[in-house]
Amino acid sequence: MALPPLVEPAAELSVDEIRRYSRHLIIPDVGMDGQKRLKNAKVLAVGAGGLGSPTLLYLAAAGVGTLGIIDFDTVDESNLQRQIIHGVSDVGTPKAESAARSIAEVNPLVNVVIHNTALDRDNVKEIFSQYDLIVDGTDNFATRYMVNDAAVLLGKPYVWGSIYRFDGQASVFWEEHGPCYRCLYPEPPPPGMVPSCAEGGVLGVLCASIGSIQVNEAIKLITGIGEPLVGRLMVYDALEMEYRKIKVRKDPNCALCGENPTVTDLLEDYEDFCGAVSDEAQEAVHGSTITVRELKDWQDSGKDIFLADVREPAEWEINRIPGAVLIPKGEILSGEALSKFPQDKQIVLHCKSGVRSAEALAALKAAGFKDAVHVQGGIVSWVNTIDPSLPSY
C-alpha cells in the first residue's frame, strides 16, 4: 500500500547538498523532491545500540535533516561487537554523545538532538511530539509497548525492529493506515520466556541487516515512494539467508487501536505490565535472596553449599564463579535436572543478573527444595564486587 509523503519538501538544497546527495538525486523515484523531504524530516532513533547504530549512520548519510537520539546508557566494551557507531575511545562515555560525534563525521550537515535520558512515561510524549517519525531499536518489551502506545496516542508512525541470535524482524506500525504493535503482540511473552540479547546473544552483523531495513522503510515513508511495511512483518533468518513476509491485520479488538479501546493513555507501569519476572518467581525470591558478599562469606567459612549456575553453556565458557556447577535453567524448569540437586546441602542458584535464577528458584521450591536461595545480581554483581579480574559480557 503506497502512502503519501510524510513531510513537505524543504525550500531548497545547497550546492554542497546537491554534490553530496547526487547519487540520490539521479534516482527518478527520489530526485530533488525526495531529497528535499529528507532534509526537512525530523527522525528520532530510540536507542543508539545494535539497531540504532546502522540506523543513525545511514539516516545521516541519506541526508535526514534532524536526527534525535535518545539513550541513557554508556558505551561498554561488549557493545563494540555490534554497535558500530561507537569505538574504543568511546568506552565509558554516553552512547548518545558518542553517536552524535560519529554522525558529525559522516554528515556534518545533519542537525543532531541529544536526549541523554531514559525514555519513560513522563517524557515520551513530549519527546516524540518533536519528530515526524520514530525508529525503534529498543531491546526490551516494556519500552517497546510504551513506544507503540505513545506513537498511537500521538498519531505518529514508527519503524520497529527486533533481533536475537540469528533472527530478526521488522515492520512499520502506523495506526492511521494499519495495525499497531499490540495488534501483532497483544500481550508480552511470559517472564523469562524470551531471553534478551544480553542473555542469549546476537550475531553482530544481524544488526546491520535489520537496521538497514528500518532505514529503508524510514526513507520510503518520508519521501512517499514504494510500499512501506505497514501491515506486513518481515522475518529474517540469517543462517538460512531467508526473508519471509507475514501479513499483519489491524485487530478490531486491539486494546489500543481497536473499535472499543480499553487503553486510552499510557500505562502507569510498563515494567509491571511486561513483568520482569513471573509472580511465582517474585514469591520464591522473597526471603530467599542473598548478595554476592554473603555467597563469598559462605564459601570462605566452609559452609556446605551446592552452587548451581543456571546460565547456558556458552555463557559458562566466558566466566564462572569458583565452585559452581552448570545446570541450565531449562533443564530445571523441565524437571530433567532435579535429580542433580542434593537434599543435604544449602542450594544456591545464580545466573547473569538474577532473573533466570529467580525463575529456576521458583521451580526448585515447587519441587520441594524449600531452603534454596538465589544470588541477587548474579555473576554481573560478582564481577563488579568480588572479582573484577573475570571477563564480563
Please state, in angstroms and rounded to a whole number, the distance separating the CA atoms of residues 137 and 371. 41
| Residue type for position 123 | N
* Residue 299 sits in the same domain as residue 226: no
For residue 81, is it within any domain?
yes
What is the domain-level CATH number for residue 164?
A: 3.40.50.720
Tell the residue number behind the cell numbers 543513525, with chain if given.
56
Q: Which three cell numbers stand for residue 362?
A: 521458583
Q: What is the pLDDT of residue 282?
A: 84
pLDDT-based confidence at 65, cuts 50/70/90? very high
Cα-based angle 134, 137, 143 (whole degrees, multiple of 5): 85
* Residue 201 sits in the same domain as residue 348: no
Dump pLDDT digits (tens) for 382-392: 998 999 999 98
* Residue 161 sits in the same domain as residue 128: yes
* Residue 103 sits in the same domain as residue 183: yes
For residue 109, is it within any domain?
yes
* Residue 105 sits in the same domain as residue 238: yes
Q: pLDDT at residue 195 above 80?
A: no
Phi, psi (degrees; rounded to nearest 5) at 197: -60, -30
Dump pLDDT digits (tens) for 126-144: 999 999 999 999 988 999 9
Domain boundary among 273, 301, 322: 273
Q: Are 310 and 350 in contact (CB under 8 A)?
A: yes
Overall domain count for the chain: 2
For residue 299, is it within any domain?
yes
List, in order, residues 6 or more apart from 145 with CB less than 8 Å away.
181, 182, 188, 267, 270, 273, 274
For residue 2, is it within any domain?
no
* Residue 174 sits in the same domain as residue 26: yes
Q: What is the pLDDT of residue 17?
A: 98
- Neighbour-count burial of 83, counting CB atoms closer than 10 A to its CB (0-12 exposed, 13-18 middle, 19+ buried): buried
For residue 196, is it within any domain?
yes
Dump pLDDT digits (tens) for 244-259: 999 999 999 999 999 9
List, in order, residues 6 or more apart from 374 with CB less than 8 Å away.
285, 288, 289, 290, 348, 349, 350, 354, 357, 358, 360, 361
* Residue 58 sits in the same domain as residue 130: yes
Domain boundary among 273, 306, 329: 273
Please state, in angstroms and rounded to a whole number, the distance separating the CA atoms of residues 127 and 384. 34
Q: Are 248 and 184 in contact (CB under 8 A)?
A: yes
List, in order, residues 6 or more apart from 265 with CB less than 8 Å away.
153
Dump pLDDT digits (tens) for 67-106: 999 999 999 999 999 999 999 999 999 999 999 999 999 9
* Residue 140 sits in the same domain as residue 171: yes
Catalytic residue among 207, 254, 257, 351: 351
Higher pLDDT pick, 109 / 268: 109
Please state, in angstroms and rounded to a whole number, the distance separating the CA atoms of residues 279 and 190. 10
pLDDT-based confidence at 281, cuts 50/70/90? confident
Range of the domain at 290: 279-386
Q: What is the pLDDT of residue 275?
A: 66
* Residue 285 sits in the same domain as residue 325: yes
**In 3-state terms, what secondary structure has residue 370?**
coil
| Residue type for position 83 | Q
* Residue 219 sits in the same domain as residue 327: no
Mean pLDDT of the chain: 94
- 351 catalytic? Reply is yes
* Residue 91 sits in the same domain as residue 237: yes
Mean pLDDT of 15-25: 98
Domain boundary among 246, 273, 300: 273
Q: What is the pLDDT of residue 280?
A: 86
Catalytic residue among 180, 183, 197, 254: 197
Of all residues in the chain, what percent carry a pLDDT higher than 90? 88
Q: What is the pLDDT of residue 219?
A: 98
Dump pLDDT digits (tens) for 299-353: 999 999 999 999 999 899 999 999 999 999 999 999 999 999 999 999 999 999 8
- 254 catalytic? Reply is no
Return the exposure string of 24-40: e unless at least 16 CB atoms fall within 10 Å of the residue's CB, then b. bbeeeebeeebbbbbbb
Q: Which three cell numbers stand for residue 61?
A: 548519510
For residue 8, is it within any domain?
no
* Residue 300 sits in the same domain as residue 254: no
Distance from the first to the final alpha carbon of the chain:
43
For residue 392, is it within any domain?
no
Using CA atoms, how far residue 171 sits from 66, 162, 215, 232, 322, in Å, is 22, 9, 11, 6, 44
pTM listed for this prediction? 0.82
Return the exposure string of 319-351: e unless at least 16 CB atoms fall within 10 Å of the residue's CB, then b. bbbeebeebbbeebbeeebeeebeeeeebbbbb
For residue 55, is it within any domain?
yes
What is the domain-level CATH number for residue 320?
A: 3.40.250.10
Q: pLDDT at residue 192 above 70?
A: no
Q: What is the pLDDT of residue 388?
A: 92
